[in-house]
Amino acid sequence: MSPPRSAHRHTLTDTASPVPHDEDRMAASPRGDGAVLRCLPVGERQGLQVPGRLQLRRLQLRHRRLLGRVPGAAGAVRHDLLRRPGRPRLRRPPHHRLHRHAAMGLPLLSPYLQSIGSDYRHGANFATLASTALLPNTSLFVTGISPFSLGIQLNQMKEFRNRVLATNGGNGQLPPPDIFGNALYTIDIGQNDFTSNLGSLGVEGVKQSLPSDLYNIGARSFMVFNMAPIGCYPAFLTELPHNSNDLDEFGCMKSYNSGVAYYNELLNNSLAEVRKKLQDASVVYVDKHTVTLELFQHPNAHGLKFGTRACCGYGGGTYNFNQNVYCGNSKVVNGKTATAGACEDPQNYVSWDGIHATEAANMKIASAVMSGSYSYPPFDHSKLCGP
């Protein structure tokens, strides 16, 4: 296993692409009217679930050449991609789902499983809570893991594709048929599988099945995000076993973050194999981990105050997280009603509810990611697509 990352000071405006493989080359791929397919199977142990997301989003590409060969340098991070965040609403906590949409000025997507009254002209959302990359070998009632694994979501997307092709654009609530071939497929995967001891298998799932399945229906351009440093999440710091010797100087768990770094290394190496197999496809590795870790380690340097403390939670203390009372919920604890409410200044926090980031943090993550400085090959995503 790779050693933990050194706790050096990192500036988000620096170019910080992962170390490339010498054999990696990106195929130039002309695109017109395009789409984004987002695949985010993320989840945790029982009680620490977040949505696993597979989304198909239509975009208008600004340039005919989607991905070129590796340039010598990348542009600086843009800090003006998103407008100033408002205060998060207590009853709608998943703000991690907003930042990439807002960065491109795009609307939220209609859920695939809620087809009545939905508008799929801009795409479809195949998300479910607590889904995994692999088919779970247990039930929702035992572990809290969703039965809608990534494979199920992919099959739903294929059914959606068949429906679109069958109507040939004749249904006013569906996207045009060419959306599936002219698409940028983004994959953000691993947290559920990693914390369920399936980390290496999750990487294999990305390498062997997902790109090939999407490739077979016309996909040629992929962006794959690595895993965030879960050892800094307030929820995991509260629930996962560790002692004080396992905490680094920033209050994050060294052992778990070391495991994440190893997972990300496997993922990066696996993508090199994918590129060899799918030689006419473009596959980009995005280092979201470095950006998120920097915010947790140095929140003050980026206009924030609290790294490993949740804004919306119950219990106060170092982490303000209680596994029995989640953000926005109330429960009787020791004979008294306890409510996990939001803080008054979410713009000062990295963590919203112990698991998800605040809008303030996600704005910074989105700006860094879309600059292209954290991608291999590096390129400016903000200049790639428009609404």
Q: Quickly list DSSP for 196-246.
A: TT-HHHHHHHHHHTHHHHHHHTT--EEEEE----GGG-HHHHHHS---GGG
* Residue 358 · residue 88 · CB < 8 Å: yes
Calculate the CA 64 to chain-centre distance: 26
Task: Determine the pLDDT at residue 205.
Answer: 57
Task: Determine the pLDDT at residue 189.
Answer: 63
Of 213-217, 224-228, 249-253, which has the strongest mean pLDDT? 249-253
* Residue 183 · residue 37 · CB < 8 Å: yes
Give me the count of residues in the chain.
Answer: 387
* Residue 15 · residue 378 · CB < 8 Å: yes
Task: Determine the pLDDT at residue 233.
Answer: 96
pLDDT digits (tens, 9 = 90+) for 158-187: 888 888 889 876 677 888 888 787 767 777
Of 16-20, 30-34, 170-174, 206-210, which has the strongest mean pLDDT? 170-174
pLDDT digits (tens, 9 = 90+) for 231-240: 999 999 998 8
Q: What is the mean pLDDT of residues 277-297?
A: 92
**CA 124 – CA 110 distance, rounded (Å):** 6
Which has more pLDDT, 65 or 300?
A: 300
pLDDT band at 317 (very low <50, low <70, confident <90, very high): very high
Task: Determine the pLDDT at residue 250.
Answer: 97
- Share above pLDDT 90 across residues of the chain, in percent, rounded to a whole number: 26
- Flag whether pLDDT at 368 surpasses 80: yes
The C-alpha R_g of the chain, in whole angstroms, comes to 20
Beta-carbon contacts of 22 under 8 Å, excluding residues fewer than 6 positions away, are none
Q: Among candidates 57, 228, 56, 211, which has minimal Cα distance to 133?
A: 211
| Sign (positive or negative) of CA dihedral 109, 59, 164, 182 | negative
- Flag whether pLDDT at 247 surpasses 80: yes
Q: Among candidates 159, 164, 162, which has minimal Cα distance to 176?
A: 164
Burial of 208 (0-12, 13-18, 19+ CB in 10 A): middle
pTM of the model: 0.72
Amino acid at 129: L
Q: Name the DSSP letter for residue 292.
A: H
- Flag whether pLDDT at 17 surpasses 70: no
Buried/exposed 320-359: b ≥16 CB within 10 Å, e otherwise? bbbeebbbbeeeeeeeeebebbbbeebbbbbbbbbbbbbb
pLDDT band at 359 (very low <50, low <70, confident <90, very high): very high
**CA 132 – CA 344 distance, rounded (Å):** 34
Residue 142, classed as helix, strand or coil, is helix
Amino acid at 154: L
- Flag whether pLDDT at 213 surpasses 60: yes
pLDDT band at 75 (very low <50, low <70, confident <90, very high): very low
**CA 342 – CA 355 distance, rounded (Å):** 14
- Flag whether pLDDT at 200 surpasses 70: no
Query: Dihedral through CA 242, CA 247, CA 253, CA 259, nearest 10?
Result: -100
Task: Determine the pLDDT at residue 206.
Answer: 60
Calculate the CA 337 to chain-centre distance: 34
Task: Determine the pLDDT at residue 71.
Answer: 26
A 10 A CB-CB count for 212 gives: 14
**CA 286 – CA 26 distance, rounded (Å):** 14
Beta-carbon contacts of 3 under 8 Å, excluding residues fewer than 6 positions away, are 258
